[in-house]
Structure 1
Amino acid sequence: MSSESYVIGIDGGGTKSRLYVADLSGAKLGEATGGPTNLHAIGEAAVTESLRSLIGSATEEAGRRIEDCAALCLASAGADRPDDRAALEQIVAACGIRGVITVTNDAEPVLAAGSGGREGVAVISGTGSLAYGRRASGLMARAGGWGHLIGDEGSGYAIGAKGIAAAVRAYDGREAPTLLMPRLMEHLGLSRMERIVPYVYQSAGKKEIAALAAVVHQAYLEGDEASARILKEAAEELALMAGAVIEALSFGEEPLTVVCSGSVFANMNYIYATFTELLQRSYPLAKAVLPDTDAAYGAALLALLSLQDNP
């Protein structure tokens, strides 16, 4: 490889994507943000156009030629399914990448960003939630990630939905009064509580409900008992997910890094602290960490590691 060789990491989402360009020591050369690159969100043609634009703008900023890219890692939800992986590999190659191409799920770069490698467990809680783990041998396991209708426990969506439920139960007199009722009405601009029904069932989508987790957290900071209970339950659910993956991979009796990622962990210290306490109670050798780099960097790190696998 020449002195101009470099790697690319892409955190490919359903609404936007981030790209990180690094030299072979991992130092940043450039970055870019662009449109979605998830096949199931926009289809192959649109993904191809989005990736061409993203890779082109980032390599231009970095002052590098596309043909000098030694490795690229694209991470996207569900991309580790064989059909999706094959389609994305072809799209990346069509963009002019001649180096090692790695296509993987969206959890593996999170794990790499927080642990510096491929082994460990990642627990992600943002709009949705899931836990993912990998051993150095390649053995993988996951828990959660079943979507907001039947899963996503401990996620922003679950917290927001439980906040609404607690507010209407208090309004009915089925539970003790809670700050969630006036705080949600104020946040949503509702003149009366009954107006929450058309909001939930006609106006709000998954992201809008997940955004209400911030209202629950604020009510907790103001001393609201119902909000504290909701956040505690969220931490317990996330700890259950982590435990399921730890057990599936037989990590329990050895030192282990558990990477905690997503807006819930990042913005709600009570959940992170409670999760950490529960984790270490069951697995004393496990260490929870918040990554100080993003998934695009983690994908670039995976691209660098792929060069070791393909010398």
Structure 2
Amino acid sequence: MYAIGIDGGGTKSKLMIKGREDQAVFSCTTGATNPTAVSLEIITERLSQLFNQTPSSFKEQAVSLCFGMSGFSALSQEDIQTIQVHIKTKLNPEAFVTVTNDAVTALYSGTKGNSGIAVIAGTGSVVYGKDESGNEARAAGWGYMFDHSGSGFGIGKAALKAVMNEADSGMALSPFSEMILQSLSADNPRDIVTCLNHSQDPRHDVASLAPAVFSLYEQGNQAAEQLISQAAEDIYDSIQKVRGRLFTEQKAVTLVCTGSLFQKQQALFDALTRLTDTKGYRLSIPKAEPVEGAVYAAWEAVGERL
């Protein structure tokens, strides 16, 4: 018997298979399956690519599969059913199939199905929690038009706004503004709008400014320090909202920090650690991949825990 997890991302997607002994026996990858980045037709095509790479013996013995998707909220119920039917057709009709938000599998990558709160901070951001009774709550993650505080996009947007404020004040460009403009390949603040209007992926371009902000932070730049501190405070505010709906203030809560910002930028994790210190949180950056969280969720769906 095997369980299968799929982590569906905006750049790549990964499938992993584990038996009850919690050892991966097979894995493979394909392209993006985030519905905000690709069509439903491409999602099903790429799922087929994953299953075509998977040995038949594993597919035949699979009892459960969990597909954790970034961009899950963009799917209609009909879309979800289409994906589930497609998976059963390519896997086996007896397997239990779950399609869910990648925040769920992110949490499970750090708790193996136990209660806690997960923070995903990458291009976007979201906070998700689950208590011992299975009650769920989430905060943030409303999309780049309305939210994404504490994300790569949020930090990049705040950096651009700081540059624009300097320009509007008639001030000479600071080292902070010069580096942000250089990272965007803009000669002056007025070029920001032109660069983004002509970009094929402006959200990505704005989010890609975050590493420059972190680099300035490491150099002791005050403006960058303020942006990173604000990002951590925004994340902490969302965490507290989720905690208030699921846990008492007296209960110690596992806080799983995932996503590219936590994986690559120690400064954000450190800033969040300072905010949560003495507040009853146990912070961790999981060693397990998000796809392993999907495997744990697949086992849990059929009443098993690894």
8 Å contact 1:18–1:296 — kept in the other structure? yes
- Aligned-partner residue type, residue 94 of structure 1: T
Q: Does residue 294 of the first structure (1) align with residue 289 of the second (2)?
A: yes
TM-score, normalisation: structure 1:
0.89
Deviation digits for residues 209-251 of structure 1, max 9, x if unmatched? 0010011111111121111100100000000010000001124
Q: 1:176 to 1:115 in 2, by over 3 A?
A: farther
- Aligned-partner residue type, residue 107 of structure 1: A
- Which 10-residue stretch deviates more, 82-91 or 25-34? 82-91
3-state secondary structure, aligned to 1:7 = strand
Q: How far did residue 175 of structure 1 move?
A: 6.8
Q: How far did residue 56 of structure 1 move?
A: 2.4
Aligned partner (choices 180, 183, 191) of residue 184 of structure 1:
180
Q: How far did residue 171 of structure 1 move?
A: 3.4
Query: Cα RMSD over matched residues?
Result: 2.3
3-state secondary structure, aligned to 2:251 = coil
Q: How far did residue 33 of structure 1 move?
A: 1.2
8 Å contact 1:22–1:28 — kept in the other structure? yes
Q: How far did residue 306 of structure 1 move?
A: 2.2
Residue of structure 2 equivalent to 1:23: 19
Residue of structure 1 equivalent to 2:59: 66
Deviation digits for residues 58-115 of structure 1, max 9, x if unmatched? x23xx73421112111111326964443332212111132322222111011000011
- Aligned-partner residue type, residue 281 of structure 2: A
Q: How does 1:40-51 map to 2 (within 5 A)?
A: 41-51=37-47
Q: In the aligned structure 2, how far is the partner of 1:101 from the partner of 1:292? A: 25
Q: In the aligned structure 2, how far is the partner of 1:137 from the partner of 1:208? A: 41
- Aligned-partner residue type, residue 252 of structure 1: E
3-state secondary structure, aligned to 1:37 = coil
Q: Does residue 88 of the first structure (1) align with residue 83 of the second (2)?
A: yes
Aligned partner (choices 144, 148, 162) of residue 148 of structure 1:
144
8 Å contact 2:115–2:129 — kept in the other structure? yes
- Aligned-partner residue type, residue 209 of structure 1: V
Residue of structure 1 equivalent to 2:222: 225
Q: 1:253 to 1:227 in 2, by over 3 A?
A: same
8 Å contact 2:184–2:205 — kept in the other structure? no
- Aligned-partner residue type, residue 263 of structure 2: A
3-state secondary structure, aligned to 2:29 = strand
8 Å contact 1:39–1:84 — kept in the other structure? no
TM-score, normalisation: structure 2:
0.90
Q: Does residue 6 of the first structure (1) align with residue 2 of the second (2)?
A: yes
- Aligned-partner residue type, residue 250 of structure 2: E
Aligned partner (choices 113, 125, 128) of residue 121 of structure 2:
125
Aligned partner (choices 261, 264, 276) of residue 261 of structure 2:
264
Aligned partner (choices 223, 228, 231) of residue 234 of structure 1:
231
Q: In the aligned structure 1, how far is the partner of 2:281 from the partner of 2:6? A: 28
- Report the count of equivalent residues: 301
Q: In the aligned structure 2, how far is the partner of 1:264 from the partner of 1:174? A: 33
The unaligned stretches of length 5 or more in structure 1 are none
Deviation digits for residues 94-146 of structure 1, max 9, x if unmatched? 11323222221110110000112241110111111110011232211000001
What fraction of aligned residue pairs are identical, expressed as a percent? Answer: 30
Q: In the aligned structure 1, how far is the partner of 2:35 from the partner of 2:163? A: 38
Residue of structure 1 equivalent to 2:300: 305
3-state secondary structure, aligned to 2:190 = helix
Deviation digits for residues 39-60 of structure 1, max 9, x if unmatched? 5644443322211211221x23
Q: In the aligned structure 2, how far is the partner of 1:118 from the partner of 1:35? A: 30
Q: Does residue 78 of the first structure (1) align with residue 75 of the second (2)?
A: no
- Which 10-residue stretch deviates more, 266-275 or 211-220? 266-275
3-state secondary structure, aligned to 1:308 = coil
Aligned partner (choices 211, 214, 234) of residue 211 of structure 2:
214
Q: In the aligned structure 1, how far is the partner of 2:196 from the partner of 2:115? A: 40
Q: In the aligned structure 1, how far is the partner of 2:76 from the partner of 2:284? A: 28
Q: In the aligned structure 2, how far is the partner of 1:156 from the partner of 1:93? A: 36
3-state secondary structure, aligned to 1:150 = coil
Q: In the aligned structure 1, how far is the partner of 2:257 from the partner of 2:170? A: 35
Q: 1:93 to 1:172 in 2, by over 3 A?
A: same
Q: How far did residue 272 of structure 1 move?
A: 1.0
Q: Does residue 255 of the first structure (1) align with residue 252 of the second (2)?
A: yes
Residue of structure 1 equivalent to 2:202: 205
Q: 1:248 to 1:178 in 2, by over 3 A?
A: farther
